[in-house]
């Protein structure tokens, strides 16, 4: 296994890039695609008269490789015209739903060999419009591994806006350099499957280091503001009522839903997590004692990430085995009852607006039913109330959320199986299965709650529920 600095000649251009023999030729071709725009399936790559295969390097090629050698590539960046396999449907013949689907379909992401965990994570994170906008405006000043990852993700985002298929080869390379655990190989030399939530966590931390926004004249962390919340926790000794209770504040970027036999719904799983028993040293008893830790949310972020704790380490097989239990989640989520009394009081004004909105909708619906004139309200551009507190950008001022994305896993362990991203875009849902993207119904999304070998929700991403100004 070695790495060489080589050249690729295509038409009249010469490109310099790095070739690693521990990776398949497909990864090398993906790098070439990033430079030339010629997709791997249209590349004919030759070296010393021999055509390079997609899946493995032949022994003769490996013997002749050295720094500075030149590969010859033939191929075009445009598809050759061919007879359409399906009947062509023109835009003017499409229904409104078909037109919206045709024009708003998210781009797919090429699987570079067990990289579905990365593709699903990217699709879900980029479902956040504020994150996409912040990423678009990123201009790094300090150049390090975190900068390289954010820049590579920025490139992926730009290409997803321009093409229906993107190969995130550079992002994968930068991820491997900063987090070597994701570069682990199997016995046959292919990339090993990785845990998608671990990838999610590391990417969010990198973005937290680099993405900044201006708020009230100062620069603040985007991720901390839009994805970060806070707990207020109280610790009480169960074995000594006289011991003074202690209070602490903790920050979080993700909530956990532990799955037990009693947990059937997401909300109850979150609620049970907020009260737990721990053992620690008691200063009054001068020994270890049992404490009850009770937590309440004191700040809600605009975007709430929730991880279902579906995997546990099984020593017998040395794997992270999966809990397949069905835990229901909904398209909307209300966390008011999990908040501190102080935050609940702050949430009331916007929650009242929700009630007013629902009442007005009923009145308007009755008026429109009695009015035979054509309703043109759908033609007006909708306006919404701000979802954040005025003095706290990126917060949630109602406690009410709507489902933005679901990251699912199919299989029996975190180191195997397959990950898929399911995202909501313009009130339509799409299944992003690597290169293949397809529209799905909300009913299909709600079936991802678990209970069998089909895709189970592993990470949920909720965004702020918006209130229209009527």
- Of 147, 176, 215, 418, which residue is the catalytic one? 418
- Catalytic, 432? Answer no
Cβ–Cβ < 8 Å for 200, 305: yes
Average pLDDT over residues 8-33: 84
- Catalytic, 339? Answer no
pLDDT for 158 equals: 95
290-345 pLDDT, tens per residue? 999 999 999 999 999 999 998 776 666 566 778 888 999 999 999 999 999 999 99
Domain boundaries, the chain: 1-76, 103-232+300-371+380-470
pLDDT for 99 equals: 44
What's the topology of domain 1-76?
Answer: Ubiquitin-like (UB roll) (3.10.20)
> What CATH number labels 103-232+300-371+380-470?
3.90.70.10
Among 160-174, 237-251, 373-387, 420-434, name the one with the lowest average pLDDT: 373-387
pLDDT for 34 equals: 73
Higher pLDDT, 33 or 94: 33
Res. 350 pLDDT band, cuts 50 70 90: very high
pLDDT for 378 equals: 52
- Of 116, 134, 257, 456, which residue is the catalytic one? 116
181-196 pLDDT, tens per residue? 999 988 888 899 999 9
Res. 87 pLDDT band, cuts 50 70 90: low
Cβ-proximal residues to 407 (8 Å cutoff; 6+ apart), any chain: 120, 121, 124, 196, 197, 200, 419, 420, 421, 422, 457, 458, 459, 460, 461
């Amino acid at each position: 296994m070695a790495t060489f600095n080589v050249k690729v000649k295509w038409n009249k251009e010469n490109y310099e890039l790095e070739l690693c023999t521990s990776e398949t030729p497909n990864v090398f071709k993906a790098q070439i695609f990033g430079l030339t725009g010629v997709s791997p399936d249209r590349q004919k790559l030759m070296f010393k008269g021999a055509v390079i295969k997609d899946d493995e390097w032949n022994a003769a090629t490996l013997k002749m490789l050295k720094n500075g050698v030149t590969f010859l590539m033939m191929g075009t960046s445009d598809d050759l015209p061919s007879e359409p396999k399906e009947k062509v449907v023109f835009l003017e013949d499409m229904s409104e739903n078909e037109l919206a689907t045709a024009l708003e379909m998210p781009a797919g992401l090429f699987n570079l060999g067990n990289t579905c965990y990365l593709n699903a994570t990217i699709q879900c994170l980029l479902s956040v419009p504020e994150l996409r906008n912040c990423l678009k405006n990123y201009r790094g000043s300090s150049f390090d591994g975190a900068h390289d990852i954010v820049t590579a993700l920025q490139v992926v985002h730009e290409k997803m806006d321009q093409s229906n298929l993107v190969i995130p080869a550079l992002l994968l390379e930068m991820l491997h350099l900063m987090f070597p655990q994701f570069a682990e190989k199997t016995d046959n030399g292919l990339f090993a499957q990785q845990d998608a939530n671990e990838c999610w966590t590391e990417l969010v931390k990198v973005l937290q280091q680099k993405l900044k926004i201006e708020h009230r004249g100062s620069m603040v962390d985007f991720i901390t503001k839009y994805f970060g919340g806070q707990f207020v926790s109280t610790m009480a000794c169960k074995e000594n009522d006289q011991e003074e209770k202690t209070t602490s504040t903790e920050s979080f970027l993700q909530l956990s839903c532990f799955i037990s036999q009693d947990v059937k719904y997401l909300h109850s799983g979150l609620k049970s997590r907020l009260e737990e028993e721990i053992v620690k040293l008691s200063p009054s008893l001068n020994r270890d004692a049992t404490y009850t830790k009770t937590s309440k949310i004191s700040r809600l972020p605009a975007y709430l990430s929730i991880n279902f704790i579906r995997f546990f380490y099984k020593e017998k097989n040395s794997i992270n085995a999966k809990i397949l239990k069905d835990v229901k989640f909904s398209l909307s989520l209300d966390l008011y009852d999990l908040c501190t009394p102080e935050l609940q009081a702050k949430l009331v004004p916007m929650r009242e607006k929700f009630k007013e909105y629902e009442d007005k909708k009923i009145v308007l619906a009755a008026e429109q039913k009695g009015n035979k004139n054509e309703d043109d309200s759908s033609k007006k551009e909708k306006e919404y109330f701000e979802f954040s507190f005025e003095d706290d950008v990126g917060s949630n001022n109602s406690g009410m959320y709507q489902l933005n994305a679901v990251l699912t896993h199919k299989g029996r362990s975190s180191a195997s199986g397959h990950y898929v991203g399911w995202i909501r875009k313009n009130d339509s849902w799409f299944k992003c299965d690597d290169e293949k993207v397809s529209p799905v119904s909300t009913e299909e999304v709600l079936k991802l709650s678990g209970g069998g070998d089909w895709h189970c929700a592993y990470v949920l991403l909720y965004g702020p529920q918006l209130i229209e100004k009527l």
